[in-house]
């Protein structure tokens, strides 16, 4: 439990000393009911036709008062553009223990969100909404705004992840990863608050805000930054007494609405007929015309209108004479080309038109310019196939993909009847400049393929036998007596297992 004290707009305190109270969960006595089985933290049972809209608000709490050690002065302190998404469980933007993608590397080192945005969009149906908001320059101040964005979720894409770089820094960020907005009762979270701690993307070995560039190759996994990691007195968050680092930012996710999707609606809305024209109907096609009017034929005069004559004489006016010459010309009708003319032949010679040869005109002599004879001008046409076989232009060093070793196989999903086992590995370094591509990150194989013999059955025990004699016959000391029972019917499949066969208790004997 944390509290805050505001002295004035730019001076406030939070989470230090007595402003933080740690609450511990009471240990179970073992007498209560057994805890429910662990559920998938990323699962969602919300109705498939339902989607929820949320407001995402990022509030900076990284100030010289809350984090005075080595705080960057001037306007150098800032938060980069916020980038994230609502997505499904098959996609991970970032996660502790995993290696940063190239998009995360660009955010962490340079504050650039565009490569990560492209990676997110390449996931296709795994992503519901891309979250984006402009960064904060500087990171604190009396008129500092918040980074705000809106996004949507549904039963298949119910997780939200986001990241922003703190600058200046080698490769430090804050963010949330795969937070589930679906509740256990198949609803949607109303409000959720996250207090963000810094983490290291593992692509640069710097330990201070203004450390010089020092790339890590191969990179390290993403890990949280603490007051003892890096364990170096020069580190920006180092504290010889240990203790937690105060949160650098707060993320508030608030539900705005819930609605049912119809089959005709899309992610970007159905639009409106008027568009930007304020309700005007859409323009008619040029060739279609008004359905209540006869269609216009291109190149032919409209029978309801007199022909438009330009360049000819008006029958009510005498012809115009210029310089003694009669310039009366036959009327020129301004119409579109006649659609009855023969079709244009693509790739062949039109019998009604002279051929136009781009490479060389065989019937014309070379053009003479004075005494210099110029060769005929030619245009080289490169076949399409030759363009497609041109080698790609490479830039920089070729870097092959680097992956971790395969992890252990998971437990079989079924005890019989063809279950599945899964193992995974992670990408440490993505390929660049035409390097070798990465392999699969997940591998599955069948297990327990034997056919199930029958339905599950619980174990059944026989009645208890009589108690034995006490182990001490006399003397007033404490002894032990026991009783036994047998298994009447063993468990089968996933049925309840058998209980103990022996039970003991203390006993006392009379004085000798």
Specify burial of residue 122 (Cβ count, 10 A radius: 0-12, 13-18, 19+): exposed
What is residue 472's predicted lDDT score, i.e. its pLDDT? Answer: 77
427-429 and 460-461 as β-strands: parallel, antiparallel, unpaired?
unpaired
Residue 200 near residue 225, CB atoms below 8 Å: yes
Q: Average model confidence (pLDDT) for the chain?
A: 75
How far is CA 110 from each of CA 10, 172, 200, 209, 377, rounded to the nearest angstrom? 28, 10, 14, 13, 51
**pLDDT tens for the 512 residues of the chain, in order:** 667 666 555 556 666 666 767 666 554 444 444 444 446 788 999 999 999 999 999 999 999 999 999 999 876 899 999 999 999 998 999 999 999 999 999 999 999 999 999 999 999 999 999 999 999 988 988 888 899 999 999 999 999 999 999 999 999 999 999 999 999 999 999 999 999 999 999 999 999 999 988 898 889 999 999 999 998 999 999 998 888 898 999 999 999 999 997 643 434 333 333 333 333 334 333 444 444 444 444 444 444 444 444 444 444 444 443 444 443 444 444 444 444 444 444 444 444 444 444 444 444 444 444 444 455 544 445 444 444 444 445 457 788 888 888 888 888 887 777 788 888 887 877 888 888 888 888 888 888 777 776 677 889 999 999 988 887 777 667 788 889 898 888 887 778 889 998 888 888 777 76
Encode pLDDT of 159-196 as tens digits: 999 999 999 999 999 999 999 999 999 999 999 999 99
For tokens 């073992």, the residue is 30
β-pair type (199-200, 172-180) = antiparallel
C-alpha distances in Å from residue 440, one per residue of 157, 323, 427, 446: 22, 87, 9, 17
Three-class secondary structure of residue 298 per DSSP: coil
Instruction: Please report the pLDDT score of residue 18 as a whole number.
Output: 67
Nearest CA to 441 out of 43, 98, 119, 84 is that of 98
Residue 157 CB neighbour total at 10 angstroms:
25
Alpha helices, DSSP H only, in 287-361?
none
Instruction: Give the span between the Cα atoms of 455 and 449, in whole angstroms.
Output: 16
CB-CB neighbours of 46 under 10 Å: 21
Burial of 479 (0-12, 13-18, 19+ CB in 10 A): middle
Count other C-beta atoms under 10 Å from residue 27's C-beta. 6
> pLDDT tens digits for 477-511?
778 888 989 888 888 777 888 999 888 888 877 77
Domains and CATH numbers, the chain: 50-260 (2.60.40.2130), 412-447 (no CATH), 460-508 (2.20.100.10)
List the one residue out of 99, 93, 102, 100 whose CA is nearest residue 431: 102
Q: What is the pLDDT of residue 21?
A: 72
3-class SS of residue 360: coil
């Amino acid at each position: 439990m944390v509290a805050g004290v505001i002295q004035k707009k730019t001076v406030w305190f939070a989470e230090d000393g007595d402003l933080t109270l740690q609450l511990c969960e009471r240990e179970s006595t073992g007498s209560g009911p057994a805890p429910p089985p662990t559920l998938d933290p990323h699962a969602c049972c919300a109705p498939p036709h339902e989607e929820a809209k949320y407001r995402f608000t990022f509030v900076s709490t990284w100030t010289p008062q809350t984090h005075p050690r080595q705080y960057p002065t001037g306007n150098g302190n800032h938060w980069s553009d916020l980038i994230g998404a609502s997505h499904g469980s098959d996609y991970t933007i970032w996660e502790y223990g995993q290696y940063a993608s190239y998009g995360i590397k660009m955010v962490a080192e340079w504050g650039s969100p565009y490569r990560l945005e492209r990676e997110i969009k390449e996931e296709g149906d795994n992503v519901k909404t891309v979250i984006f908001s402009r960064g904060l320059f500087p990171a604190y101040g009396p008129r500092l705004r918040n980074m705000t964005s809106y996004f949507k979720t549904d039963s298949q894409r119910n997780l939200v992840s986001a990241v922003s770089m703190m600058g200046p820094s080698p490769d430090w960020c804050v963010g949330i990863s795969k937070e589930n907005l679906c509740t256990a009762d198949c609803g949607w979270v109303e409000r959720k608050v996250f207090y963000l701690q810094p983490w290291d993307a593992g692509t640069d070995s710097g330990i201070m805000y203004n450390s010089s560039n020092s790339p890590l190759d191969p990179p390290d996994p993403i890990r949280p930054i603490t007051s003892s990691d890096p364990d170096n007195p020069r580190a920006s968050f180092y504290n010889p007494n240990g203790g937690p680092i105060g949160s650098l930012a707060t993320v508030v996710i608030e539900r705005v609405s819930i609605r049912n999707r119809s089959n005709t609606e899309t992610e970007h809305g159905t639009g409106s007929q008027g568009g930007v024209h304020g309700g005007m109907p859409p323009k008619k096609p040029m060739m279609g015309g008004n359905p209540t009017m006869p269609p216009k034929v291109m190149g032919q005069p409209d029978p309801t209108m007199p022909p438009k004559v330009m360049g000819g004489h008006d029958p009510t006016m005498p012809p115009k004479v210029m310089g003694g010459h009669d310039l009366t010309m036959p009327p020129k009708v301004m119409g579109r080309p006649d659609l009855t003319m023969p079709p244009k032949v693509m790739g062949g010679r039109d019998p009604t038109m002279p051929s136009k040869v781009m490479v060389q005109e065989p019937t014309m002599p070379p053009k003479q310019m004075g005494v210099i004879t110029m060769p005929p001008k030619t245009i080289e046409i490169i076949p399409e196939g030759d363009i497609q076989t041109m080698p790609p232009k490479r830039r920089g060093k070729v870097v092959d993909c680097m992956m971790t070793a395969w992890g252990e196989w998971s437990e079989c999903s079924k005890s019989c009847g063809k279950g599945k086992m899964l193992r995974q590995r992670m990408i440490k370094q993505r390929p660049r400049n035409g390097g070798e591509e990465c392999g699969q990150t997940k591998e599955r194989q069948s297990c327990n393929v034997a056919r199930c013999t029958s339905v599950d059955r619980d174990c059944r025990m026989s009645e208890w036998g009589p108690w034995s004699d006490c182990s001490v016959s006399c003397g007033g000391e404490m002894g032990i007596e026991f009783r036994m029972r047998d298994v009447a019917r063993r468990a089968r499949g996933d049925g309840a297992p058998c209980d103990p066969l022996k039970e003991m208790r203390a006993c006392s004997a009379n004085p000798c």
